Every structure is written in C-alpha cells, then in structure tokens.
Amino acid sequence: MQVEVKKSDYQSFGGINFLNDYLIKLGFGSLVEHCLGSRRNTAQYSYSDLLKEIFFICSIGGDALDDSNTLRQEVSRHPGLKVASSDTIEYAFQELKQPTWVERTETTVHYINEHNGFNQLLPLICKKSGMLSPDHGYTMDYDGHIVENTKNDNAFTYKKMKGYYPTLCSINKLPVYMQNRKGNTPEGYKAKSAIEEAIQGCLKNDITIKHFRADACCYQKDVMEYLESLPTPVHYFIRAEINNGLRIALEDETEWKGTMLNYQRIQVCSITETVLGKPRRIVAYRKRATGQLRIDEQDGYSYHAIATNDTQMSEDEVLKFYNQRGCQGEHHFKELDHDFNWNKLPFDTIEMNTIYMYATLVAYQLFNASKQFLSRRLSFVNVEMRLKNFILHFVTLPARWIKSGRRQILKIFTTRDYSPLWNT
C-alpha cells in the first residue's frame, strides 16, 4: 500500500456548517438570551455560543469538554463560528449555576437543584422549531433516571449505587422540564410541584397537555387533584399501588375479561374504587402467578392497576396507551446517557453538573430539531436516527472554506445531494 500525505485545512465534519446555519435561521441566539440573559459586555462568547458548542461537540462524537480543541481545528476557517476553550465553558457555567435547596425530613436530607431559565428554554425550543405545535394535545410523561457517578456530593440510590437522580417531564421523548436531585431523593418527592412547573411552562408556549402518564411515584393525592383541577382537562394514567383495600376489591370482582398483553394472556377489568380520598376509575389486569406464591398472591394471581380519570378508553386501550410510556417516556434516557454524555459528567459538584446536564438537554433538543428540519430536505437523513448514525450519514462530510471574490464559499466533496440546504 502506497501512501501520500498532503497537509491541508479540509474539514472532516463539514455537516457542522449546515447545522450552524440552521441554528441561525432558528434564531437560537435570541431564544437563549431571552431565557438565560446576557453575559457581561466584555465576554467574547455568549451563552448561545457555548450551548451551540456543546451541541457541536456531541455532533462530532465528542464525549468531553476538552474535545472543543478538536472542534476548533475542524471549524478554524469558518468565517463566523467561534469555539471557546473548556475553561471558558466552565467559567460561564459558574455564572449560571444555582444554589441547591436543602430540605430535611424525618428520614433523610434532600438536595434539589434546578435552573428556571433552562426550564423555560426547553419548551421554547420545541415550539420555535416546530417539534411541538399549539394546535395539538400532547401526552406528558414524568419519570426519574439514576445517573451513576463517583462525584464527591453524590448519594446512594435505591439501587444501592451512588449518583444523582434527576426527574424529567417529556413530550414525545422531548424533555421540557428537568430537576436534578441527589440519589437519595426518590422521584416521587415534590412530584406535584415539578409537574405543575412543567405544565405551566408548556402552557406559556401554547403547548397543550391532554394526557399525563407516570409510574407509581405519582400515585399521590395532590398530583391527581392538581391534574383534575386544571381548566383544560388532563387525563392521567398513573400506576396504582395495590393496597389491601384495592386488592380485596379486585379479588371480589367477577367481570374479568380475557385479552393479550405483550404476548401474554391476561384478564382485565375496570372498577370504581375510593382511592386517595375519592372514587376513581381503576383499570386492572391480572395474570396467573408462577412458581412459589407470594403472600399477596393467595388466590393464584398477581395484580396490577392503573388509576385514571379517562372514562372513554376501553380497558385494552388504557393498558396499551400506558405501556407506550416505555418507549416515549423512558428511551430518551439511553440517548442522554450514551450519546449526550450524562454518564461522563465533567464537574465535581451537583450545581455545575446540573448546568451541564441542562446544556446537553438543549443539545438533544437541537439534535432532534435538526433531524426534523433536514429529513424534509435530504433523503439520507431521517428522524429516527441515533446520534452515531447521524454523524456517519450527515455530519461526516469533507469540506473546505475558500475565499473568492471577497466572498467566503464552502466547498464540499461528496456524491450525496446536499443542494436542498442552500437552494431553499
């Protein structure tokens, strides 16, 4: 094999230029300034510059802030794109970090950290990019996720590992609200206030919430009463805890119907039972217990139930709709962990790491918005792509900036048709 080396300033990831152009058209800078404010006049980089940089680092496969050095080399000839050092990003995050709330209960001490500006920015990006539209009623999912780490201020989780335990409210896998907590704080703690802030943030952006789904962490009286009290009805579907009273009611029920769920034969029923101080609809299913029976399986069945205020869906429809939260309300955590570096938090404190997590949530939003924009114009981009596939098929593009006749021209080298990006 003969090799000839020719030194040049070609870019390997030329797709970054088109991503930057899209963010300019989106007005990303003004969105960030509206929610996070401006830095001091002497600052060389704005908050939007730094958030774009986090997105671009992820978009070239980077997994650390020091990968800004690689990004800088890639875009060194770009006429307008600025790349800051990792130290500059840390200084800006120091400006944005918020104090941690410390709340003591009889059994533990809770540490909670969030940023109101970022929680305003997340739904605003969804609205401005067209990923969520005002003329549609959406389903909001609430869930927590353990972010295992070895930071000095982490805490033991219920899974006996140390880390943080952030909670997210999301719509169609798009995070619209986040609150970070230490690992010893369960996802159900202060759930009502988090859900209220998330819903109000969506309503301010004309994003209508029609349904709400959550596991048993939200099986709380104040959560249900809040959702029931909203001017626009929100139908909730919450995993119910099988207490003694509910179990007796289900064991006494005679009108069970056979059906299939996840390729398993089960029996379903719908009853009205007083739970959490009020008669509510309970959609339950049971299946034959196998092996040695537990104390709560004396009649040979294991029971599961969903509390809902929806009276129109059938039992099968309720179960199918609730189980969709597995892919719509949880799968984005895998992408955040492995594609957007939640499993490699760069700082030593929860305050700084919370800002980094918000920044990667913004990067995740921009990634999805970019896919939606590009998929309408390019045949080789689709909205189902994971980040690695997106990098391979779109971002990896040999390119070079040249100056000709007082103009900066981007020269790309590819057999793929990128022309719809500058012909529209």
**pLDDT of 21-64, one tens digit each?**
999 999 999 999 999 999 988 899 999 999 999 999 999 999 99
pLDDT band of residue 295 (cuts 50, 70, 90) is low
Share of the chain above pLDDT 70, in %: 96
The band of 339, judged by pLDDT with boundaries at 50, 70 and 90, is: very high
d(CA 152, CA 102): 17
pLDDT of 398 reads 93
Task: Please choose, from the candidates 373, 387, 365, 354, the residue with its C-alpha nearest in 3D space to the C-alpha of residue 125.
Answer: 365
Name the average pLDDT for the chain.
Answer: 91
Q: How confident is the model at residue 357 (pLDDT cuts 50, 70, 90)?
A: very high
Residue 262's pLDDT is what?
78
Q: What pLDDT was estimated at residue 90?
A: 95
pLDDT tens per residue across span 162-215:
999 999 999 999 999 999 999 999 999 999 999 999 999 999 999 999 999 999
Tokens of 372: 């939606």
The answer, yes or no, to whether residue 113 has pLDDT greater than 90, is yes
Please say whether the beta carbons of 177 and 122 come within 8 A. yes
CATH 3.90.350.10 domain position(s) in the chain: 101-344
Task: Answer yes or no: is pLDDT of 107 > 60.
Answer: yes
Provide the pLDDT for residue 332.
Answer: 86
pLDDT at residue 329 greater than cutoff 70: no
| pLDDT in the model for residue 196 | 96
* Res 292: pLDDT: 64
Which residue did the predictor score with more confidence, 39 or 424?
39
Q: Which amino acid is at 326?
A: G
For residues 392 and 294, the model is more confident at: 392
Mean pLDDT of 58-74: 93
Q: Would you give the distance in Å from CA 157 to the centre of its chain? A: 21
Determine which of 15-19, 100-104, 208-212, 419-423 has the lowest per-residue pLDDT on average: 419-423
- pLDDT confidence of residue 232: 84
pLDDT given at position 404: 83
Sorting pLDDT into bands at 50, 70 and 90, what band is 253? confident
The confidence score (pLDDT) of residue 424 equals 59
Dihedral sign computed on CA atoms, order 204, 207, 211, 214: negative
101-344: CATH number: 3.90.350.10
Give the pLDDT confidence score for residue 381 in this predicted structure: 95
For residues 238 and 157, the answer to whether their CB atoms sit within 8 Å is: no
Model confidence pLDDT, tens digit, residues 378-402? 999 999 999 999 999 999 999 998 8
Which long-range contacts link 78-86 to residues 24+ away (Cβ below 8 Å)?
Answer: 78/17, 78/20, 78/401, 79/401, 79/408, 81/16, 81/17, 81/20, 82/44, 82/45, 82/49, 83/53, 83/56, 84/44, 84/45, 84/49, 84/50, 84/53
pLDDT over threshold 70, residue 270: yes
Asked if the model's pLDDT at residue 366 lies above 70, the reply is: yes
Q: What is the pLDDT of residue 4?
A: 79
